Amino acid sequence: MDNKISIRAATKADAPVIAKLTRDLGYPVSAEVMRTRLAKILACREQLMIVALAERQVCGWLQAHYTDVIESGARVEIAGLIVTEKMRRRGIGRLLLAYAEDWAAAIHVRAMVVRTNMIRVASHVFYIAQGFAHVKTQAVYRKVLCSDNLVGARSTKKNVNRLARPVALTRELSDSKSKRKAYGRDKSNGDRNRSNSRQTAKRH
């Protein structure tokens, strides 16, 4: 491993180079969108986003996050790891992974998980060499709910607050229905009262 390789936490200023490396990984993304994504990730304590530097230039990144799964418990999952092609086979990937393992240990998590595409044969070899065991082969399904630009326009705080919205919304709808029913009853009673008043007036 090159002695000049160092690891540090990512910053929003790293967005352009992280976006380029992400495109190399097969995921097209602009620097602007990446900057928005980074801002959200860096603000979350359950996320780890680090970069590797060679000669003060970013040459790789790793993202990992803490998750607690009901059927298997707490774990740290590696969401992505990429090293620029010309810097591969220098131990940079191992260094990034070791940093993530130290982070997992610091938050008292005993298991680390990574998912890798079946076509990335080199990745399979790499992770097995780092002590990972192949435990499952699965299909991954994806459903797009809204555009990336729409997501980027919303603040992280609003997204977090929205987590509590379904129950509140249900209550609001329920209250609204009750109010409409009550209004309907009051209006109906009022109409009947006015009708009765007119009929009484005619008789007199």
- Indicate whether 137 and 184 sit together in one domain: no
Helix, strand, coil % over all residues of the chain, rounded to 5: 50, 20, 30
Cβ neighbours of residue 88 closer than 8 Å, sequence gap 6 or more: none
Summarised one tens digit per residue, pLDDT across range 70-94 is 998 999 999 999 999 999 999 999 9
- Indicate whether 149 and 159 sit together in one domain: no
Domain range for residue 180? 155-204
Q: Computed over its alpha carbons, how large is the radius of gyration of the chain?
A: 28
- Indicate whether 97 and 111 sit together in one domain: yes
Summarised one tens digit per residue, pLDDT across range 16-75 is 999 999 998 889 999 999 999 999 999 999 999 999 999 899 999 999 999 999 998 999
- Indicate whether 43 and 133 sit together in one domain: yes
* pTM for the predicted model, two decimal places: 0.70
- Indicate whether 184 and 148 sit together in one domain: no
- Indicate whether 80 and 177 sit together in one domain: no
